[in-house]
Amino acid sequence: MSGGVIAPSGEIVRDPNFPDVPTFIELYEQVHGEPLSGPAYEAYYALTSAAITVGKAVVLPSSAPTEVVDAYSAAFEKVIANPEFRAANEKALGGYELYTGADARALWGTVTTLSPEARTWLADWYSEKVGFKLAE
């Protein structure tokens, strides 16, 4: 299995570098006969979003003028389209898709604050399974 990645649509999809390998979400449903849900799903989604999908983001302050945001987006679109950069990205990061504009904003929107129930579930899981206590 792989952890999967979050698509701009918000759906957890298969890792593009391992398209034949099911995601954790798919495997969980096969094993348990029902989808992961509730606080466990919320915790998994939040960690996947923060650590995998948008863990390497360039962000500007929310107060940045539209012209500045547009300039950054245009610059990154040029970088992403550069064949030499794409080759270097493939070698260094496995060629994961890089996003700008609306898709990047949609992915940034997948980062969420855990509900108290999901945080409690995650803290209990870390404590029981890994022996690690999350800070209060």
What residue ranges do the domains of the chain occupy?
A: 1-54+114-136, 58-109
pTM comes to: 0.79
User: At 110, phi and psi to the nearest 5?
Assistant: -80, -15
Res. 133: pLDDT tops 90: yes
Mean residue pLDDT of the chain comes to 91
pLDDT in tens, 62-97: 899 999 999 999 999 999 999 999 999 889 888 788
Please state the rounded mean pLDDT for residues 10-27: 94
| CA proximity to 16, closest of 24, 27, 6, 26 | 6
Amino acid type, 120: T
